Amino acid sequence: ATVDYLNYDVLKDYGWELDDDDLFEKAARVDLDEVDFGRFEVEDDETLLEAAERSGHAWPFACRGGACANCAVALLEGELSQLVDHILSEDLLEQGIRLSCNGRPTTDELKVVYNIKHRPDLDDLRL
């Protein structure tokens, strides 16, 4: 699967919102560092977090076991399987929030905003 990613911190810097329709188009127009915006491939046997790490990215995590939400991402396109999730509410799941530490792509293309742990409603969840 191919993953387009964007750092949540960038949204705050530019005053963008997660539900902006053209979020990734706007991100492509400004000159963002590869840390914050880009693309990598996820192999069949990898979680999203593992693929990010193999691609040289230091995405946030802590437990790697579906219990802390430090690794949370917002899916804007595509889907991740979620083997273990002890933390996300129905409401957050409906908003496309997933855990990168054990989520594996089930679609060929994904658009994800990572580093979402700093969103206030997720900050409250983190251990």
If one asks whether residue 59 binds ligand FES (CB under 6 A), the answer comes out as no
Enumerate the β-bridge partners of residue 109: 2
Residue of minimal Cβ distance to ligand FES: 101
If one asks whether residue 71 binds ligand FES (CB under 6 A), the answer comes out as yes
Residue number, 15 or 120, with CB nearest to ligand FES: 120
Calpha distance 25→121 (Å, rounded):
26
Angle (CA) 76-64-55 rounded to 5° is 60
Cβ neighbors of 72 (< 8 A, separation 6 or more) are 88, 97, 98, 99, 100, 116, 117, 122
Judged by CB under 6 A, how many residues of this single chain contact ligand FES?
12
Integer Rg of the chain from CA: 13
Residue number, 52 or 101, with CB nearest to ligand FES: 101
Residue selected from 26, 36, 40, 67 as contacting ligand FES according to rule CB under 6 A: 67
If one asks whether residue 68 binds ligand FES (CB under 6 A), the answer comes out as yes
If one asks whether residue 64 binds ligand FES (CB under 6 A), the answer comes out as yes
Which residues of the shown chain bind ligand FES in the complex (CB under 6 A)?
Answer: 61-64, 66-71, 99, 101
